[in-house]
Structure 1
């Protein structure tokens, strides 16, 4: 890898990218139109992620601006002490080195995730899906222009235009150094990367998020929460797929019937367990397998649960470890639920749609990790570093 870029160099590239992306809006959208026209699949979530419009470009520019103004995450002192023998010991944050980002359909990853990795001093390898090739290459061209104009080698941001077999071969035996891999996509992509990678992988992207409506829930709050989580953005990994309703909720029928009517307005397919399937407009389910599934579609499963402990058990059994919500006015129950549910983000009376690096104060995200090492949940600029020991002596020996 090249000598580490200082923070002024990194910021200069990001600031130049702000200008270039703004200037080349129409060129990016035109390249994306080629991808959209070639995309023939019926996967609504994939299609939503693939599309680039003026609003998405505004988001790319905002991300770059915010990154360029954030503090340098590299070289931050985490710990220091003076050894008994006079050595001065420091532990500081350090770049990983080279990060490979493998992703499906989302051209904005070529800006936002790459920008976060670059700001944290890493060389970037990008492997986008074939469905977004024209969009990705148009954006990478801008990265190279920004690097060249700042007298920096273009291999700091490199695009790997590989097919599946070439990608597998690279994962198993990389032809250049790779220190960390971040897959951004569905479970098939994540499993493929985990199976073949020969270096550390941060697992991200799988949702299958639950909302538990406790017996002391505000029903209007619950209704609005579920609607927002399910219908606001179906392609998001923080969307809601499962709802558990406490059997002891007063006037439970009112909530269930109102929820069915509200979801039907959005053409959401509603499935239910043995109890909920008895309501009009709800299809029955067979077996437990569906409780494991992330839908990324206008589809939801609603079930009845006896109490909060059963809700916790069910969520810990079936969820993707991403986000879980409890709707209740009982603070003690909420506290127990939030401490006991094994998810990266837990919510009390708020939407799972806030599991996002920008919304949670990170200024953006590389990914949302469902792993527990080294960072859980949204991975922001300050998390995309490792650490390094610096020891200054004057001839000490042990």
Structure 2
């Protein structure tokens, strides 16, 4: 058997095992599902040292190949594990996503029609080097009654192996099928392509990563895909903006965690305030925070020798680093037009004290989340009160924005009759 055939058989087995476990997890009571999550939270704290040791193996092997922000995403600490455990406890407190009240009615033929909420089934998750996603995705899947197949990045393989082993052991200890949670241990591109075509076993595929990667998945998958988007996220500073507030928001959105999709990548400044506001941005971001600023012709003219000239490619690039593009725009309409041409439909922000401009921006910007006078870093399932998130959807189907428990469910119609036939 060739390596390709062996991988194909391995992936088929994962799909078959996940599908075989769907009935058990879907039939668990809310208390049983919550007990699993509680036990995982406790294990994260109890086994902190072992988890950090596995994480250190990943850092030793791949840390030197990653940017500083990407290393930060990969790195686990006691504080991060405590936050992950807190997230699980928050998820336990949320209502059952499979519970009613359900819609019901009787049609003209006397059929009683019930609409009930049910799990999607088998959820496959492909994501980058973020070990916290391993626990988030598994816990959301369990709470919503789904099985999950996880395929993380190679940079986190030791950490992911340990975390999945931990969660599978908890399932076994409670008497449940450990295949409710499975990990793809092959981190080659071939394993991704195999997942894209397991339509007989996978009900939905959720990719998280770069724009190019997500485009590859959407273009090539035969499995239904919930598209999560890269974050070419913009902030527009209107002429009425409060400067101090704007600088704080911009700094937070760009520097608090630059390697995530809700970090700000582009800054648009109204021409009427550009001469006064741009030097403040340069002082705050470039001088204090060491952010590289890449400007258009107008911004470079206002700050010669302080900004790097932006290229055409910059305006569509998600940096995931301490880099930010800067552009001067005519007005709010010009900002809206520019953003809609370059947005990845993730999160967009206006900083303004003008209510009419804010409403216009909210109405006309085509994005999953639109802000006035707040950091885009709040685009997050935990911050939205979802306990955690399995991704941030930028499409316009049933799931959009941060996806929590509800996004992992669908509906089923149950029809009760008394012998009716259609005339």
Q: 1:11 to 1:286 in 2, by over 3 A?
A: closer
- Kindly indicate whether residue 190 of structure 2 is the aligned counterpart of residue 181 of structure 1: no
Deviation of the 1:31 alpha carbon: 0.2
Query: Residue 233 of structure 1: which of 250, 257, 277 is its match?
Result: 257
Counterpart-to-counterpart distance in 1, 2:110 and 2:410: 26
Is the contact made by 1:276 and 1:282 (CA closer than 8 Å) also made in structure 2? no
2:34 corresponds, among 11, 14, 34, to 11
What secondary structure sits across from 2:123 in the alignment? strand
Note if 1:32 corresponds to 2:49: no
Change (3 A) 1:173 1:369: closer
Could you say which structure has the higher helix fraction? 2
Once the 2 structures are TM-superposed, how far is the Cα of residue 256 of structure 1 from its aligned partner? 1.0
> Unpaired runs of 5+ in structure 1?
none
Q: Secondary structure at the match of 2:272?
A: coil
8 Å contact from structure 1 (residues 102, 128) kept in 2: yes
Unaligned runs of 5+ residues in structure 2 are 1-18
SS for the counterpart of 1:26 is helix
Task: Return the alpha-carbon distance in structure 2 between the equivalents of residues 386 and 212 of structure 1.
Answer: 37
Q: CA deviation at 1:134?
A: 0.7
Counterparts of 1:43 and 1:195 in 2: how far apart (Å)? 28
Displaced runs of 4+ in structure 1, greater than 4 A?
Answer: none
Q: Find the counterpart in structure 2 of residue 306 from structure 1.
A: 330
TM-score where L is the length of structure 1: 0.95
Distance verdict in 2 for CA 1:335–1:396, change over 3 Å: same
Q: Greater CA deviation, 35-44 or 341-350?
A: 35-44
Task: From 259, 276, 299, give the equivalent of 2:299.
Answer: 276
User: Is the Cα–Cα contact under 8 Å of residues 215 and 328 in structure 1 kept in the other structure?
Assistant: yes
2:7 — aligned with what?
none
Shift of 1:79: 2.3
Residue 414 of structure 2: SS of its match in structure 1?
Answer: strand
Mapped to 1, the partners of 2:50 and 2:255 lie a distance apart of 31
Indicate yes or no: 2:218 matched with 1:194.
yes
Q: Shift in Å at residue 361 of structure 1?
A: 2.1
What's 1:130 paired with? 154
1:139 to partner: Cα distance: 0.5
Q: Which secondary structure state, in structure 2, belongs to the residue aligned with residue 161 of structure 1?
A: coil
State the partner residue of 2:375. 351
1:303 match: secondary structure: strand
Contact 2:196–2:217 (CA<8 Å) still a contact in 1?
no
Residue in 2 that maps onto 1:261: 283
Q: 1:1-398, aligned counterparts within 5 Å?
A: 1=19, 2=21, 3=23, 4-6=26-28, 7-39=30-62, 40-174=64-198, 177-249=201-273, 252-264=274-286, 265-278=288-301, 279-398=303-422
After TM superposition, give the deviation of residue 175 of structure 1 in Å: 8.5
Q: Secondary structure at the match of 2:297?
A: coil
SS in 2 for 1:304: strand
The 2-side partners of 1:281 and 1:377 are apart by 39
Q: Counterpart of 2:14?
A: none
Residues in 2 aligned to 1:258 and 1:168: alpha-carbon distance in whole angstroms: 45
Q: Secondary structure of 1:275's match? A: helix
